[in-house]
Amino acid sequence: MKELEFPEERRNVWYALSDLYLDTELQEWQFQYMADIFLKSPFSLEKIKKIDKYEVFPVLFSNLLDPAGEWAGFDEKRLVKNIMKWMDSRSQLDILAIKFIYLFYEPINRSYWKKLEDIYNQTDG
């Protein structure tokens, strides 16, 4: 298994990011929660966006395609297990495929990221 940089903080970021993949409209408190987790982590916002794109998105994006997708929240242990499994098994071709698929997803979540950045920058500044 691959050794992670800041494993505990990364897991917290994964779980916070998982809210972006719920089949529901996010509330203000969820954005605040995510921004708080991001600010407490050792990662920059740009690094968190990469963690989302290459670690969380590949595991959870299919929830947004499922008409009966998860809306109440993901099981944290299962989430971590699935992300670790993905990271251990991914190939360069897998990463290339994710880059391509993300092109279609990114505009859908742009407003969420804008809101997160605004809260993050207000709290950080």
pLDDT confidence of residue 65: 74
For 68-120, what is each residue's pLDDT tens digit?
665 668 999 999 999 999 999 999 999 999 999 999 888 888 889 999 999 99
Per-residue CA distances from 43 to 47, 52, 65, 101 (Å): 6, 12, 29, 24
Mean residue pLDDT of the chain comes to 90
- Asked whether the beta carbons of 14 and 55 are under 8 A apart, the reply is yes
pLDDT confidence of residue 55: 97
Q: Who wins on pLDDT, 50 or 124?
A: 50
Q: How far is CA 124 from its chain centroid? A: 20
Sign of CA dihedral 22, 56, 59, 105: positive
Q: How far is CA 93 from its chain centroid? A: 21
The answer to whether residue 8 scores a pLDDT higher than 60 is: yes
Average of pLDDT values for 22-41?
92
Question: Quick one: pLDDT band at residue 63, thresholds 50, 70, 90?
Answer: confident
Question: Quick one: pLDDT band at residue 125, thresholds 50, 70, 90?
Answer: low
Percent of the chain with pLDDT over 70: 90
pLDDT confidence of residue 72: 67
Question: Quick one: pLDDT band at residue 34, thresholds 50, 70, 90?
Answer: very high
